Amino acid sequence: MAWTLGLFREHGLSLCRINQGSLTDEVERQYPRQWRYVRLLGSCRSTLCIANVADHEVAIWDPIFDRHSVLPPDAEIPHGLIPHGLSLSVYGFGYDECNAKFVLLRVVQTLRRPIVSEVSIYKSEANVWRWLRGMPYFLVEPGRMGVYLRSRLHWIMRREWVRNSAKVLVAFDIHTKSFVEVDQPNVIDNRLRMDLAVLEEHLCLTVYRELGVVNVWIMREYGLNQPWICCSRYVTTGGVSDLSGHWLTPRMVAKFWWKWAVRLRLLVVTIYVPKTSSTI
C-alpha cells in the first residue's frame, strides 16, 4: 500500500509520501476556493469533508486528486426552531453503499431549555439537503463528529439533559434514516468521558477513568447487541486528557487521530491512495 501523510495548515494540506519509514515527495494542496482555517467534519474513502470557518461553507474534497464539490446551503431546513447563536452542531460524514454516493448528516441542538434538535441529511447523488425529524437524544460535546462504520454514523449521546448523566452509544442508519442504540460494555461507568473511533473495521470505545488511566474497548463483531473486549489499558503521566480520535477503517482509506508529541497536540491525517480514483 502507498500511504500519504497529511498535516492541516492555515492555507492548505501538506501531503508527504511514506517510503520505508521516511517522508518524501512533499506536496502542498490548497484548500478549495482558497479557504483558510478549515474545520474537519469527517473522512471516508480517501475523501474529506471540510468546512470553511469564516463563512461556514462545506465541501467534499479529494486532496489526492485535488478536486472538490461545494455543498449547497441548507435552505430547505426550517431553522425557526433553533435560535441563532444559541445552539451547537455536529456532523457525520459517511457513504451510501447502495447508491455509491457520499452522505453528510447535520445535527443542531439548542443550548437552553426547552432543548430542541434539528436533523438534516445531504446526499451527493441529489445534491440537496433534506430535513429529518428530531432525535430523542442530547449531544455531549460539540466537537465530536460522527464515526462511520457499516452504513451507520455513531455518536456518544445522553438520554437526559442532565450533567454527569448516563451516556448511550447512538447510531444513525443511513438507509432507514433512524437512530438506534448500540450496547456498550456492561462493566464500565457510562458517566465517564468516552470517545469513539474505528480501528481495522472494528468499533473502538476509549474510556477515560481516573487521572491518567485509559481503557480501550473493541467490538470484534459489529452489531447492536454484540460483546466488547477490553484490548488495552494505558497509564499515562502528566494527566493526558485525550489520547483518542478518529481511526477510520482501511476500507474507508483514511485515518485521523490525535497525536501527542512534546506535549503538543497536532491533528494529523493519513490518506491511503487507492488504485482507482473516487467519484465526488
Domains of the chain, residue spans: 1-71+250-280, 74-182, 191-248
Are 82 and 116 within 8 A, CB to CB? yes
Query: Could you give the percent of the chain with pLDDT greater than 90?
Result: 25
d(CA 46, CA 250): 10
Rounded average pLDDT over 41-53:
89
Query: Could you give the percent of the chain with pLDDT greater than 70?
Result: 73
Model confidence pLDDT, tens digit, residues 5-28? 667 778 888 777 666 556 666 778
Say if residue 84's pLDDT is above 60: no
Omega within 30 of 0 (cis) for the link into 32 = no
pLDDT band (50, 70, 90) for residue 258: very low
DSSP-assigned states of every residue in 215-236: EEEEESS-STT---EEEEEEE-
Of 142 and 206, more confident: 206
Residue pointed to by grid coordinates 521516511: 22
d(CA 244, CA 247): 8
Rounded to the nearest angstrom, the gap between the alpha carbon of residue 275 and the centroid of all alpha carbons in its chain is 25
Rounded average pLDDT over 118-122:
92
- How many degrees, rounded to 5, is the angle at CA 93 between CA 172 and CA 64? 155
Nearest to 64 by CA among 273, 276, 251: 273
Q: What are phi and psi of 32, to 5 degrees?
A: -55, 140
Q: What are phi and psi of 33, to 5 degrees?
A: 55, 30
- The grid coordinates listed for 244 are 483518542
